[in-house]
Amino acid sequence: MKKSVKIQDVAKVAGVSTATISRALSNPSVVSKATREAVLEAVKVTGYRVNRAARNLRTRKSNTILVLLPDIGNPFFSQILQGIQTVLSPRGFSMLIAETGQISAAGEHLIDYFDDGRADGMIVFDGGLDQEVARDLVEAPQRNQVVFACEWLNNADFPSVRSANRRGAVEAVKHLIELGHKKIAHIKGPEGNVLTDARFESYVKALEEHNIPIREEWIFAGDFDLNSGRDVARKIMKMDEKPTAIFCASDQIACALISEFSKNNVKVPDEMAVIGFDDIELAEHFVPALTTMRQDRLGLGRQAAEILLSRMMNDKGISDSDVIVMDVDLVVRESTAPPQN
């Protein structure tokens, strides 16, 4: 049972003081070459590893970033996490993951992560934070160490990285219009979500721009998830006057929608054109392959991490680029086609 090596032990082996060890490791340029090499050698010999808790205590830093998700189980986030990780890892930061619901369920507050030194910064993917939680964040001294990604807060201007939801939604609907559709339905995301609103409003805008009247009965509540797609498909099939095309707020909705249509012999894209949003991995391999707006999830994660780190370094409090909007791309596959008749 070898006891853990501490900086004192290394100092003894290298024949220098602990201060020199510390300096040689964290700021090599200030010690002489000879010492530096001796220290490195001693570190190797002893197998020394800095004790993070001690370092964190002394420096008041954790080198850890909290990633706050509304729902860890949603596979939409996995690639985003990967993007974040590719930026954080080489820079020596660790990634802590938590879920909005779990934090409040545990009686904790979001800013506790700052207050108790668990995290130096956070990337928040939940635009639906409680009013109170949001206010705490705005008023926190660590205000600058927070970046929103994908979603954002309407009443606070944190830096944020997001996809071009409005342009994307407009383009998606336009794609349907250009194919000749006039009867275009929309399945919304969850109530109160900023993405839901942005995409829905753009749907309305695109229709208005082309003088297509809005039909309330073709606007459906949903929640980004599979089940809402299935449910809406059932509703639509019962309608007397059906739309000929549907713009879904997410690919998951679109897939489940198509699936339910297929089961009931409603042909996609011929009888019903369907376009999604996200371009999840499976979209390309769905049957029929899904036409959708691609979000660069890896890039979103990377950008969010980059911005956060650069803000944490500067700490100017001033920021030139508060909102980064990532491009989205229309990917035309097989689930959209001109209307039949």
Selection from its own copies, DNA, none that 161 binds (CB < 5 to 8 A by kind) is: none
Judged by CB under 7 A, the chain residues 52 through 111 that form the site for DNA are 54-55, 57-60
- CA distance readout (Å), 238 to 215, 223, 234, 243: 16, 21, 7, 12
Q: Which part of the chain contacts DNA (CB under 7 A), choosing from 50-58, 70-78, 143-151, 267-275?
A: 50-58
Among 13, 42, 43, 48, binds DNA (CB under 7 A): 48
Selection from its own copies, DNA, none that 16 binds (CB < 5 to 8 A by kind) is: DNA
In the bound state with DNA, the residue whose beta carbon lies nearer, of 48 and 203, is 48
- List the x/- string, 173-192, binding to its own copies by CB under 8 A: --------------------
In the bound state with DNA, the residue whose beta carbon lies nearer, of 32 and 89, is 32
Does position 150 interact with its own copies (CB under 8 A)? The reply is no
- 224 in the Ramachandran plot: left (φ > 0), alpha (ψ -120 to 50) or beta? left
Cβ distance 160 to 149 under 8 Å?
yes
- CA distance readout (Å), 275 to 141, 172, 311: 43, 7, 37
Among 177, 237, 289, 312, binds its own copies (CB under 8 A): 289
- CA distance readout (Å), 86 to 80, 89, 149: 10, 6, 16
User: Would you call 269 exposed, middle or buried from its count of C-beta atoms within 10 A (0-12, 13-18, 19+)?
Assistant: buried
Does position 332 interact with its own copies (CB under 8 A)? The reply is no
User: What CA–CA distance (Å, rounded) separates 242 from 227?
Assistant: 20
Cβ distance 151 to 190 under 8 Å?
no
Cβ distance 194 to 221 under 8 Å?
no
What SS3 class is residue 19? helix
Does position 141 interact with its own copies (CB under 8 A)? The reply is yes
Residue in the block written with tokens 């900023």: 194
Selection from DNA, its own copies, none that 35 binds (CB < 5 to 8 A by kind) is: DNA
Pairing relation of β-strands 292-295 and 328-331?
A: antiparallel
For the chain, the distance separating the N- and C-terminal CA atoms, rounded to the nearest angstrom, is: 80
In the bound state with its own copies, the residue whose beta carbon lies nearer, of 28 and 75, is 75
Selection from its own copies, DNA, none that 89 binds (CB < 5 to 8 A by kind) is: its own copies
Residues that bind DNA (CB under 7 A): 4, 6-8, 15-23, 25-26, 30-32, 34-35, 48-51, 54-55, 57-60
Residues that bind its own copies (CB under 8 A): 1-2, 4, 49-54, 56-57, 60, 62, 64, 71-79, 81-82, 85-86, 89-90, 92, 94-99, 102-103, 105-106, 112, 115-118, 141, 226, 229-230, 252, 255-256, 258-260, 262-263, 281-282, 284-289, 298
